[in-house]
Structure 1
Amino acid sequence: MASLFKHLRVHQIFGANTDVGKTILTTALVLASASRKIPVHYLKPISTGPLEEADDHHVKRYGRHEGSLISAECLFRYKEPISPHLAAKFNLLTILQPSDETFINAIANRIRRCAANIREPAHMYVETAGGIHSPTVSGTTQVDCYRPLFLPTILVGDSKLGGISTTIASYESLLLRGYIIDAIVVFRDHYYRNWEYLNPYFLERGVELFVVDPPPPIPTDPSKNLTITENYYQSIISSEKEDGMAAIMNHLDTKHKNRLNELEFMPRRTLDTIWWPFVQHGSIQKEENVTVIDSAHSDFFSVTRQNALHDKSVNESVLAPEFDGSASWWTQTFGHAHPALTLAAARASGRYGHVMFPEHIHLPALKLAERLVHGGPGKGWASRAFFSDNGSTGMEVALKMALRAFSVRHKHELEGRKKKELGVLGLKGSYHGDTIGAMDACEEGVYTCEWHNARGYWFEPPTVGIRDGVVTISIPPAFSASTRGHDMKAESLSWVYDIEARLRSPLALMYGSFIQQTMKKLEQDGPKLAALVLEPLVMGAGGMIFVDPLFQRVLIDVVRGRRSGPSSEWSGLPVIFDEVFVGLQRIGMESTSALLGVHPDISVNAKILTGGLVPLAVTLASNSIFQAFLSGNKADALLHGHSYTAHPIGCEVANETLSLIDKVTASDNWKAAQAKWDKPDGSLGKVWSLWDPVFVTELSKLERVEEVMTMGCVLSIHLKDASAGYSSDSARALLEPLKQFSSAPGGAPFGIHFRTLGNVAYFMTSLNTSPSVISSVEDRIWQAIAE
């Protein structure tokens, strides 16, 4: 939605309060632009009050001498001189009360139309109404409503009593929402002299403050007002003061030019300096391979369009929206720059900064721990929450917990070196992070390094997918007499995930028998196993592998040596759930425990936990695990930690995220999506998706598609490829057109960012992505694969 044009310099004018002279100064900017023979457009998105007092009419009145150089208009007008959110309600003749999306689209479209016919430099000023937190028609405050446009901002300060405070407060509110503030302008009031305080204040923060002479008092004779006001505008425009209108014009032009230059040269500077993760730099050597993100909002990046930036004949925006189809590596929960999360971070930063944690406590950490343990994914089994800084280190903590608990219980069997040789049990395709210990809990693979030492045994799991419209369970060769394995057609997804109903099925018996036989062999010939480590239901980085949940449940039961049920002590092996990817509603459930019908002994949450704003991880543990570290000896403690353990900013953001999750899971959009995935009898199934079931089924029938699977926010597409694997480039090559900005009629007016895992392409929404955006993404995916 953000717009930036080479030839059209656009600025948005906010006021620190009502009646600060915003329209006077905006008109002065318009006239100053026109005085340089530059075409200038004035836009008042919303206006209330009598027509003769409207701001756009003021601009037209005093710009009439400039002829065709000045155009002025208002998009939404209400006659009552009150706040827009009230004026719209009271105006019975008004049928259309625009939503925020309609309102912002109207502004964006008007900016684009102005830019479309420009060949030479032109200026545009978008004047807001009232103060920055004055409401729009919908009731959303302007500072939040206008944010998707991401226009460079001019703040008109308050020169009257109390104006120092309102100006600084407005400036900080704009900063908290990421606005680029190019200039602050304030009247030179010789009584309050606010500018004398504000000038050094903003200079220290790198923001230019301009002081303009105020207009003369309104004459008692209205007939003289026009002439007096015209003379005033002429005087400040022609003034040669160092902070006059000429200086403001030069400053704004420079800011515009500098931003364009910065965007143009960022790719080259990046290739000279940056070392990306998971990227082969040998294939990224051209500047056009670098995607420059200028800003982000909701589900979209605002990225640079290289052709518009370099081609002088192109009048399109230098920036284009790009749907964040990977949820920025699975972190985004409510989209980018969510104001509630930003304010939560600022709240904790202002109160605490960062503080020491061991043997100390602060309220954000305590609230988060209590919520996760007693009312969240740990409810019913966890007793403790251990904080760390990301999913990988959270898993390192989990492994330390499990290994210690096993070692304490089996201390008489694990003398000396034997403790160093303990391994884990897991699944092929697992991925638990990039730290050395987390990598050692997985098989050798593309993510491991020279020090990798695979410690354990990994089953090849049966998987679930939709093939040619049919839900299919794929069983590996090792499970059956056939050397080829076999596929089993399932009744429905609801049936596949109704684990309790499947526990006594022949397939469950086969799983149990195979697991038991394998475990017996491992006891004789394999490593000493000390923990079962699982990514429940979906293994992410391994290729978006949807594991048959029955297999994972049977595996847990066999490892524990009993049918899983309530117990205060871990049995067999401690069970670790790595829910970094799937946890906290990413796949439509708070925790996988409820669906699997069994609780872990240790679990890890991260990513969604903080809404994609800051890193934080929490490892939950049962009391039985905690007791393994409890003694009077310091050396027996869990001696693991990070300088920023339980940092207040992350904890406060996590608390806010969990509150927002509670709201979105009860929203109409979620209920509507769940209803589409109901069972044939109309009852609610245990699995569902924000992606449309008809789209998913039909996509699975396409010739190029091997298999499709979805849960919650996640859509996974396995493409047919004889050389399938992480190094395959088939998915990326086929879907490359998705990255292109589409302006075709009826098409989604945005590009789509996506990530691939070899021949697997995956797409991910936020928890609150709108149905219309999801539908547009579905259309683009269909076109790319089918056509």
Structure 2
Amino acid sequence: MRRVASSALWPRLRALQIYGANTGVGKTIFSSVLCAAFQKKLRRVQYVKPVSTGPLDEADDSHISAFGSGIKSKTLYQFDEPVSPHIAARGSSLPISDNEISVALYDELKSYATGEDGIAIVETAGGVLSPAPSGSTQADLYRPLRMPTFLVGDHRLGGIGSTISAWESLHIRGYDVQSVGLFAEGRYENAAYLKDYFAERNIPSFSIAPPPEPAAARDEDIKAMKAYYESSSVNAEVIGFVESFLKAHDKRIEDLREMPKQATEAIWHPFMQHSERNEGNVVAMESAYGDYFQTYTKQKDVPSGAGQEEKALLSPAFDASASWWTQGLGHGNPQLALTAAHAAGKYGHVMFAGAVHEPALTLSQTLVHRMGNARLSKVFYTDNGSTGMEVAVKMALRAASKRHGWSPEDNVEILGLIGSYHGDTMGTMDCSEPSIFNKKVEWYQGRGHWLDFPQVKLRDGQWVVEPPKSMRKTVGKTRTFNSLAEIFDLDARRADWGRYRSYLDAELWHLRQQGHKFGALIMEPVILGAGGMMFADPLFQRCLVEAVRGIDPNIDNAKAVDGQGADKDWQGMPVIFDEVFTGLYRLGRFDAAGFIGADPDIVVNAKLLTGGLLPLCTTTASEAIFEAFLSADKSDALLHGHSYTAHAIGCSVANESLATMSKLSQSDDWAGFRQDWKASLAVQETKDVGKGSTPWSMWSQSFVETVSRKPNVDYVFAIGSVFAMSLKDPAGSGYASTAATGLRDRLFAGSRAGEPVIHSRVLGNVLYLMGAMTSTPETLKGVEETVLEALSR
């Protein structure tokens, strides 16, 4: 896999990063003082300057070498021009990426981890937000290593504000600032003010005397500076910081090692049989950044002997489940963090009953506009996908019951698909057929009827649409296709369309003859997620919408399907699309409904809505659904809400997330993904497939096809950021199958020391992988290579 930097944490090597509130605040002076102070406690002290600009003889590591006795120093990237790194790097023959620098720094620190007590002082360049060679900020460049930080404050006029701003910039990015130090300049009294300010935040601070003025003779200057460093290194507050830092390092490790055990004592985990849980199989996530968790497990914590290379305590693990499908813009995304902080500072949380704030209004308008569904007009806010679906069902059942004159005593059901799952609340569980998720829940009743459906699969390099056995007499046997795009060319599949409509019309007629009253059709468009990652034939789903709306199959009445006609009212029964998982770019486009060319009356969105940062859900409904709750009686209103309904922080982050993903959809990386899949498209690029663009995936065609031919793989599919493989299991498929657990465990164990591992989830015999919207082709290629290797073992 592509190398990425891990959190820099070893048991006996301590790493301390020095940041400055600004340029010229004395970072190198403080680094020298701390090197000298640590040298009195530890055997090995190393100074590292990752990036330096200016003449070599003026470099900071030269200063350390000149004044620090026995202290080794090194600069990793030196640019001769004395300008900001992003300007100096322009003369480099090759661009220097943030990942290249962070990996180089990690490897340098790793070389010092020899099983002996030591410390590495890592000094940054300029201020906290000064540019890196790539143009990003230093705070973002070094964030993957998450080293404990010492902030050198600004002792000059205006330094109070710049020091506090620098600390806030680090804090909001997840850094742990251990202490703040600055020169004791009496004129502005910065040190006294900042000591009180940071004490309130449980951050110790101290000041030391400024260095002596440069002497005329170099020998005298060196002598004076050495004396200064010696006296400063025994300063009581400096010694106090050194001792507290060493204790904090040991406590950080102790806490990390104890977390799995303490979790087994205090936490009830979701979706886990706790008779199988122990401290050895609980993964402690120390932090996360970008595509990766920083993970600790008991099994990988192997003590190193003296003189041996010390094993890092934390391993980067690719987040292959996108953190239960929420991750869109990378963990620790600084822009989302800043957006959340701004909204927190502006609003905190304000109640939403009979009120409005700009973030919620903007988000509502954006969703209604971007969905392009003329039926939709009103947005209702909840906290998560389960509750959003609960609201959707309430909406649909009220509208259907009111129109048809059904009473509360009538047994009103929902119509859905076999294998679907819409949430863990009591109401939404009743909208799914009996399964491992719900059938042992005491109040579960299963209020509905569920239809089986044809599935899209890539098996042995061949795309197929495979009907279930119960449908084959009516719709025929498995169909083969030249490409995924050909499957999505719905208008060209007239023969399939006719067979599907005949089957569905007959099924619905029989159900109605049996007395079923359906208050809603509920569907996950394209992919059924929690039920087992099943790829439904989009044409079948479109035909199902047509059938429940009573559309005459012999005339052209597509407007009744997509809501573009003058009549935007629902027909037959309200149609709910559960896009909690599949919506908002997960499948490569803004909404999943467009793939099947049918617009719902109600659509639910969550997961990617806030880019993986906060829980938030929207249920967007048509005007006709909304009007079903209007009357002069308060009891007829939709009496549903949450304390944090439409919380301003979540809405603000959602607006930022959607805007960012919209830009990503036009990015060069996404263009490359599309180009990879375009090569085998049977449909012209200019031709609409369904209602949207041709399907593509972030996972390469060659990888998907190669996996599909593996002897232990039944079938695979890929679309957008989603890849799923179904492994063969002689004992039978389904959620209770353990066929995929071995592969999951091999991916997390890794095969090469020092390389990232893959943290994945399984659904029975199905193992799935997802990228974030920001995952790069290089990252995903590395994941692909690791998966192929694991499948061969």
Count of aligned pairs:
763
**Matched-pair contact (CA < 8 Å) for 1:560–1:571:** yes
TM-score (norm 1): 0.95
Question: For residues 776 and 48 of structure 1, what CA distance do their matches in structure 2 show?
Answer: 33
The answer for the alignment partner of 1:580 in structure 2 is 580
Question: For residues 299 and 412 of structure 2, what CA distance do their matches in structure 1 show?
Answer: 56
1:155-186 CA-partner distances (Å, limit 9, x unpaired)? 11112211111111111110100011112112
The answer for the alignment partner of 1:441 in structure 2 is 431
Residue 525 of structure 1: how far off its partner (Å): 1.8
**2:345 is the counterpart of 1:350:** yes
Residue type of the alignment partner of 2:371? P
**2:516 is the counterpart of 1:530:** no
**Matched-pair contact (CA < 8 Å) for 2:322–2:772:** yes
Higher relative contact order (CA 8 A, sep 6+): 2
Q: Any unmatched runs of 5+ in structure 2?
A: 1-5, 552-556, 686-692
Which runs of structure 2 are paired with 1:81-96 in the superposition (5 Å)? 81-89=82-90, 91=91, 94-96=92-94
1:677-698 CA-partner distances (Å, limit 9, x unpaired)? 1144683371110001111112
Which of 389, 394, 397 is the matching residue for 2:391? 397
The answer for the alignment partner of 2:59 in structure 1 is 54
Which of 496, 507, 511 is the matching residue for 2:487? 496
The answer for the alignment partner of 1:726 in structure 2 is 735
Which of 113, 119, 130 is the matching residue for 2:115? 119
**2:699 is the counterpart of 1:691:** yes
**Matched-pair contact (CA < 8 Å) for 2:303–2:311:** no
Question: For residues 437 and 159 of structure 1, what CA distance do their matches in structure 2 show?
Answer: 61
Residue type of the alignment partner of 1:50? P
Question: For residues 353 and 741 of structure 1, what CA distance do their matches in structure 2 show?
Answer: 43
Which runs of structure 2 are paired with 1:478-517 in the superposition (5 Å)? 478-481=470-473, 486-502=477-493, 504-505=494-495, 507-517=496-506
More displaced stretch, 583-592 vs 95-104: 95-104
Which runs of structure 2 are paired with 1:160-559 in the superposition (5 Å)? 160-239=156-235, 241=236, 243=237, 245-285=238-278, 287-306=279-298, 309-313=301-305, 315-374=310-369, 376-411=370-405, 414-418=406-410, 421-448=411-438, 449-481=441-473, 486-502=477-493, 504-505=494-495, 507-559=496-548
Question: For residues 747 and 511 of structure 2, what CA distance do their matches in structure 1 show?
Answer: 47
Question: For residues 377 and 643 of structure 1, what CA distance do their matches in structure 2 show?
Answer: 27
Question: For residues 481 and 172 of structure 1, what CA distance do their matches in structure 2 show?
Answer: 66
Query: SS at 1:582's partner residue?
Result: coil
1:483-503 CA-partner distances (Å, limit 9, x unpaired)? 9x842222321111111222x
**Matched-pair contact (CA < 8 Å) for 1:422–1:529:** yes
Q: Any unmatched runs of 5+ in structure 1?
A: none
**Matched-pair contact (CA < 8 Å) for 1:556–1:564:** no
Residue 310 of structure 1: how far off its partner (Å): 4.7
**2:712 is the counterpart of 1:704:** yes
Which runs of structure 2 are paired with 1:539-688 in the superposition (5 Å)? 539-562=528-551, 563-565=557-559, 566=564, 567-678=567-678, 679-680=680-681, 683-684=684-685, 686-688=694-696
* Closer, same or farther: CA 307–733 of 1 in aligned 2, 3 Å: closer
Which runs of structure 2 are paired with 1:124-139 in the superposition (5 Å)? 124-139=120-135
* Closer, same or farther: CA 727–526 of 1 in aligned 2, 3 Å: farther
* Closer, same or farther: CA 149–37 of 1 in aligned 2, 3 Å: closer
1:96-131 CA-partner distances (Å, limit 9, x unpaired)? 44111111111111111121xx23200101000111
Residue 324 of structure 1: how far off its partner (Å): 0.4
Residue 524 of structure 1: how far off its partner (Å): 2.3
Residue type of the alignment partner of 2:428? A
TM-score (norm 2): 0.94
**Matched-pair contact (CA < 8 Å) for 1:378–1:620:** no
Question: For residues 163 and 178 of structure 1, what CA distance do their matches in structure 2 show?
Answer: 23
* Closer, same or farther: CA 447–360 of 1 in aligned 2, 3 Å: same
**2:745 is the counterpart of 1:736:** yes
More displaced stretch, 214-223 vs 13-22: 214-223
**Matched-pair contact (CA < 8 Å) for 2:456–2:466:** yes
Residue type of the alignment partner of 2:79? Y
1:378-417 CA-partner distances (Å, limit 9, x unpaired)? 5433111111110111101111111111112112xx2351
* Closer, same or farther: CA 308–255 of 1 in aligned 2, 3 Å: farther
Query: SS at 1:710's partner residue?
Result: strand
**Matched-pair contact (CA < 8 Å) for 1:467–1:706:** yes
Which of 105, 108, 124 is the matching residue for 2:106? 108
Residue 37 of structure 1: how far off its partner (Å): 5.2
**Matched-pair contact (CA < 8 Å) for 2:401–2:407:** no
**Matched-pair contact (CA < 8 Å) for 1:3–1:320:** no
Q: CA RMSD in A?
A: 1.7
**Matched-pair contact (CA < 8 Å) for 2:486–2:681:** no
Question: For residues 412 and 502 of structure 2, what CA distance do their matches in structure 1 show?
Answer: 25
Query: SS at 1:129's partner residue?
Result: coil
**Matched-pair contact (CA < 8 Å) for 1:299–1:336:** yes
Residue type of the alignment partner of 1:441? C
Question: For residues 672 and 401 of structure 1, what CA distance do their matches in structure 2 show?
Answer: 41
Residue 768 of structure 1: how far off its partner (Å): 1.4
Residue type of the alignment partner of 2:242? M
**Matched-pair contact (CA < 8 Å) for 1:429–1:542:** yes
